[in-house]
Amino acid sequence: MSVCVAFNLSDGVVMAVDSATTMFSAPGAISKVFFDADKLFQLGELRVGIATFGVASLHGRTTGSFIREFIVDPANADLATLDLKEITERLRRFYFDYYRSFAEKVHGKPFDEIPTNVKGLLGLVVGGFSPGSFLSEIWNIEIPTHCAPYSAVQKNAPGNFGFSWYASSAPITRYLKGIDQELGAKVRSQFEVIVGRPLNEEELGKFQEILNGHEYRIKVEGMPIQSGAACARFLVDFVIGHYVFAETHPIVGGKPKIGIVTYSHDAFTISD
């Protein structure tokens, strides 16, 4: 697995990932963890970056190795003229074709007959600028959920400033929200056992108010791009540290890598 954090700011996009990649000999059976993987990429010379998470390889190739193939494909010679929605859709279609053929090869049956819970998640976060735009945006592809054309999700439209986190990011959720979704559901269920009935809408609203009141809030409106990079690094480092010391496999690890593109940059740039 991985961790990925993506900020959409007024000056541009910041994406951060760890550098661990996990290989499985069977579902749930970890055979090897590498700590020097590339999971953050430039899309050619465009003002667009891509982060990958989830499935680490297809047909013996890293998911990142397909990006170069995508770029040099003559069918994609017009990428510089496309808005980010269309670029994301082409990436979704390109990766899904490989993902489907790989799943069918591994499981020996048609794709639609393979249970979703054994297919594995292949995720991409696509962020940057459409041609002529001075405000950035972020999209998310998660296969097999996003199999249908134009099913990718726009996480942040131009002018919608905020950040999101993906994959093995439960420590971030607990840190910022004070509680994760699974624990929240169990606490709610216990309340319902105590009172002997489901909570009504008013009671659920009050429950949510309590949770919201204890959330750590990060102000992204007006946040400088370098502050966004520092915050993204902090959050990825936080998850890496968790998996170093927690009593579980280090499925997130290595070191953070940071990608940035701004309205004044000609391309997405990556650094340690």
pLDDT in tens, the chain (272 residues): 689 999 999 999 999 999 988 766 566 666 677 788 899 999 999 999 999 998 888 988 988 889 999 999 999 999 999 999 999 999 999 999 999 999 999 899 999 999 988 898 999 999 999 999 999 999 999 999 999 999 999 999 999 999 999 998 999 999 999 888 888 888 888 988 998 999 899 988 888 888 888 899 999 999 999 999 999 999 999 999 999 998 777 788 899 999 999 998 788 999 98
Domains of the chain: 3-168+225-271 (3.60.20.10)
132-153, pLDDT tens digit by residue?
999 999 999 999 999 999 999 9
Q: pTM value?
A: 0.90
Report the b/e string of 181-198 with b at 16+ CB within 10 A. eeebeeebeeeeeeeeee
Distance of alpha carbon 207 from its chain centroid, rounded? 29
Distance CA 272, CA 135 (A): 25
Q: Which three-class secondary structure state does DSSP give residue 17?
A: strand
What φ, ψ does residue 31 adopt, rounded to 5°?
-105, -30
Distance of alpha carbon 211 from its chain centroid, rounded? 24
Distance CA 119, CA 4 (A): 21
